Structure 1
Amino acid sequence: MAVLTDDQVDAALPDLNGWERAEGTLRRKVKFPAFLDGIEAVRRIAERAEERDHHPDIDIRWRTVTFALVTHSEGGITEKDLQMAREIDAILDQ
C-alpha cells in the first residue's frame, strides 16, 4: 500500500471530523464528558481495530483521548489510515 502525499492527506482532512496531520500521523483529540466515557469509546474502537488488524496509537489523559494513525510498515499515512479514521469517527458519532 502506497504512502499518501501530503496533498492527498490534506485533501481528505475536510471529510474527517477533527483530524489533523501532525508529526507524520493522522491525529484526533477528543474530550469526553467523563473518564469512563473515554474508556468505553477506546474499547469500542479497539474492537474495530482488532477486526481490521490496524491499530491506532491511543493516549488517554483523564477525559481526553488522542488517536494517532500511521501505517508503520509503510512508513507513513496510507489509505488504510484514512479508512480507520472514518471508522473511528463513525464509532464516536454513535
Structure 2
Amino acid sequence: MTELLNDTQVSEALSRLPEWTQDGTKITRTVEFANFPQAIQGVNRIAEIAESENHHPDFDVRWRKVTFSLSTHSQGGLTSKDITLAEEIDGVVDALS
C-alpha cells in the first residue's frame, strides 16, 4: 500500500508542480483549453493514463475549463500516486497547448 505524504513531502512536490495547489487532502489544477473539443481530448487522454495506473482523478468540465483533483481516497489523502499523476497530467496539458 502507498503511504500518505507528510506536509514537507507535499510542499516539496508542489514546488515542482507550480500549477497545482493543495486543498485539504487533495491537490487541484484548473486548465483552460483552446475549446471544448480540446478539453474533452485532454480528459480522454488523462482517463486512459489513469485507467492504466488504476488511479483516477476527479474531473470537473466547464466548457473549455477542466479542474483536475487528485487524492488517494483509499489512504485518505495525498500519496506519491497523486504526484505522479499530476506530473502526467501536466505532460498531457503541455502536449495539447
TM-score interval (norm. to shorter): over 0.9
Structure 2 counterpart of 1:80:
81
Structure 2 counterpart of 1:91:
92
Q: Which amino acid aligns with 1:26?
A: I
Work out the CA distance in 1 between the residues paired with 2:79 and 2:25: 11
1:13-92 aligned at under 5 Å gives the runs 13-92=14-93
3-state secondary structure, aligned to 2:61:
strand
Give the TM-score taking structure 2 as reference length: 0.92
How far is 1:17 from its partner? Answer: 4.2
Percent sequence identity over aligned pairs:
48
Name structure 1 gaps, 5 residues minimum.
none
Work out the CA distance in 2 between the residues paired with 1:23 and 1:34: 30
Instruction: Provide the aligned C-alpha RMSD in A.
Output: 0.9
Give the TM-score taking structure 1 as reference length: 0.95
Work out the CA distance in 1 between the residues paired with 2:9 and 2:65: 28
How many residues were matched structurally?
94
How far is 1:23 from its partner? Answer: 2.8
**Contact 1:2–1:78, Cα closer than 8 Å, also in 2:** yes
**Contact 1:2–1:74, Cα closer than 8 Å, also in 2:** yes
Work out the CA distance in 2 between the residues paired with 1:62 and 1:24: 26
